[in-house]
Every structure is written in C-alpha cells, then in structure tokens.
Amino acid sequence: MSHRLWLLAATALLLAACSRTPLLPPAVGGGGQVELAAVPFFPQSDYQCGPAALATVFHHAGAPVSPEQLVGAVYLPGRKGSLQVELVAATRRQGLVPYPIAGDLVGLTGALRGGQPVLVLLNLGTQHWPIWHFAVVIGYDADHDHLILRSGTTRREVTAARTFLRRWALGGHWGMLALLPGELPTDADAERYLRAVTDMEGVAPPPALVAAFAAAVARWPDNSWARVGLGNARYAAGDRAGAEAVFADLLGRHPELVIARNNLAQLLGERGCRAAALALLDAGLAQQTPTERERAQLRATRAEVAAMADAAAVCPSPAAMSR
C-alpha cells in the first residue's frame, strides 16, 4: 500500500471511529437505561400519527381518550396529518398542561428519568422533502446509544441516537409533555411552565388552573407570575376569599406590583368594602412607579369601585390600605 493510500485508509478509520462516539452518555451523566414500559401503544394508521401519539401521552397522564376521539380535533384532511398547534390546543381542552421540553438530549432524557414520555415531531425525510411524523419517546439506553419509541405500527422502536437526533433536528427539536394539573417535571423551567399554564386560561376548567398555579407557587414561592395566576384562577373558580388572600399576600411582598393592588381592590369592592378598595387604589396612584398604562388601569378600576356600595360588615381599615 502506498503512503498516500495508507494515509487515506487511516483517515477513514479515524472518521469511522469518531462517528461511533456515543451521544447519550454526556447528556445523561454516564451510562444507564430508562424505559417507561407501561406507556400504552396505539398503532398508527396512515396519516393518523398525531391522534395516536396524543392519545398515548393522554392515557399516561390518566386521561383515557382514544385516537378516534381525537381525530376530529387534531387531524387536518387537507394536510393529511396534524400540526403541533392542534395537539397543544387539544391538550389544553383536555385540562392537561402542554409543557414544552428543552429541545435537546438533556431535556429529553431528564423528562424520561422523571417518568414522563415525550411526544416529539420527527422529519423522516429531508429538509426539502419532509415526511412529518409524531412519535412518543419512552426510553433510552445510554450504554448502547439508542432511544426507544412508540412509533407508527411498532410498539417498541429502537432508534440509534444519531438517527433520532437528525430526524428530531429536521423537525425543529419540538417535544411536549402532557401533565396533570399540579404535576411538574423535576427539572421544570418556571417561564416555560407558567407560559403553558397561562395559555390554558379560558380553555381549561378553573379547578385545573388552580391546581397548576398552586403547584407553581409551591415550586417557585418568590415568583409573582405564579401568584397572580393562582389568584386569578381562584377567582375564576368562584373562590373569591382565596383570591383575595393571594393578592393581599402578594401586595404585602411587593407593594409596587400594580396588578396585585388593582385585583385586590376589585375584590374588596365586589364584597362591599368600597372605602378600603378606594384607599388602596388612591395609594397606588400616589406612587411614582406605575407606568401610564398602569395608572389608566388603576383609574378605571377606581371609577368602577366608586359606583359600588359600601356594605360589608367586616372590611380592612381604609387607613391600613393607604400604603
């Protein structure tokens, strides 16, 4: 063999060795296997991978909905398939939280270690000739560098990590969990979770929102967004005393937070504590920190409260509200 040919052969062997470098161990902190074997399986007929994959994660979350029941909600005949937006919307309507995972192996394997199957969008074709496919990742084997899926008509599809990552990348690294309200992933990101729950307002039943926001407050007690969401959810559920307690506590923590002041004043006015509500709003308008938009909201609420009756037997002292 000539020296040139020997160099070419050595380079080819080196490249082949590099191509076999496992992808999973760095992401999961070493070897190991996870397989959520109890996740149900619904064989996917032509173009029906969206309803079947969604039914899979719904059943795991405790919502026994069949793929046939989901076809009308998520299947688009013109596209012969489903889009992510339809799957997310159907999850909200079911009263489950559609939590988007971080689109990388750390987010994917972290969800699996936490016991959550992940609904993913894959492109089995190319960038220019896509073949879109929804599947559910139920496990991984870091020692053998592969992932395990519920996919198509295959109950346990074993896919090399490199192949999966290529298909997932072509699908935009999109992945979603369907969570019961009150359930959080072990490594949940506060902003992603709270945005997912907030987007459920007006769609999911109020008790589901109460449970979801309460879980967020328990996980992130200093997060004002979570507390505002909990207060609004309790109000929507008819628990006005609970909502008032949330906003009073939040205003005590953050006197500059206009939304807490505004909502607390509204609640006080609605239960007949007009004087206390007006004192609270006037104190907010006297502050220097509110923006013009926030001042306009406070003035609008003040006009509404001023027209209410002052009739409650037990109210906070107006003097106590003037802060």
pLDDT of residue 18: 44
Name the CATH topology of 23-179: Cathepsin B; Chain A (3.90.70)
Instruction: Fill in the amino acid letter for 123.
Output: N
Domain spans in the chain, listed from the N-terminal domain onward: 23-179, 194-321
pLDDT of residue 7: 44
Residue 127, token pair as written in the block: 């960038």
Residue 149, token pair as written in the block: 């899926």
CA distance 212 to 91: 14
The DSSP bridge partners found for residue 150 are: 136
Residue closest to 75 by CA, chosen among 40, 46, 117: 46
Dihedral sign from CA coordinates of 298, 304, 306, 312: negative
pLDDT of residue 17: 42
% helix, strand, coil for the chain, step of 5: 50, 15, 35
Per-residue pLDDT of the chain (323 residues; tens, 9 = 90+): 454 544 444 444 444 444 567 777 665 655 689 999 999 999 876 657 788 899 999 999 998 888 777 776 665 444 444 577 888 988 998 899 999 999 999 999 999 999 999 999 999 989 899 888 899 999 999 989 999 999 989 999 999 999 999 999 999 999 999 999 999 998 899 999 999 999 999 999 999 999 999 999 999 999 999 999 999 999 999 999 999 999 999 999 999 999 999 999 999 999 999 999 999 999 999 998 999 999 999 999 999 999 998 887 788 887 777 76
The DSSP bridge partners found for residue 175 are: 120
Residue 171, token pair as written in the block: 């699908």
Q: Which ranges constitute the DSSP H helices of 96-219?
A: 105-113, 161-170, 190-198, 206-219
pLDDT of residue 72: 61
pLDDT of residue 11: 46
pLDDT of residue 79: 45
pLDDT of residue 23: 77
**CB neighbours of 97 closer than 8 A, spacing ≥ 6?**
91, 177, 178, 179, 180, 181, 183, 193, 196, 197, 200, 212
- CATH class for domain 194-321? mainly alpha
259 in the Ramachandran plot: left (φ > 0), alpha (ψ -120 to 50) or beta? Answer: alpha
pLDDT of residue 215: 98
pLDDT of residue 45: 66
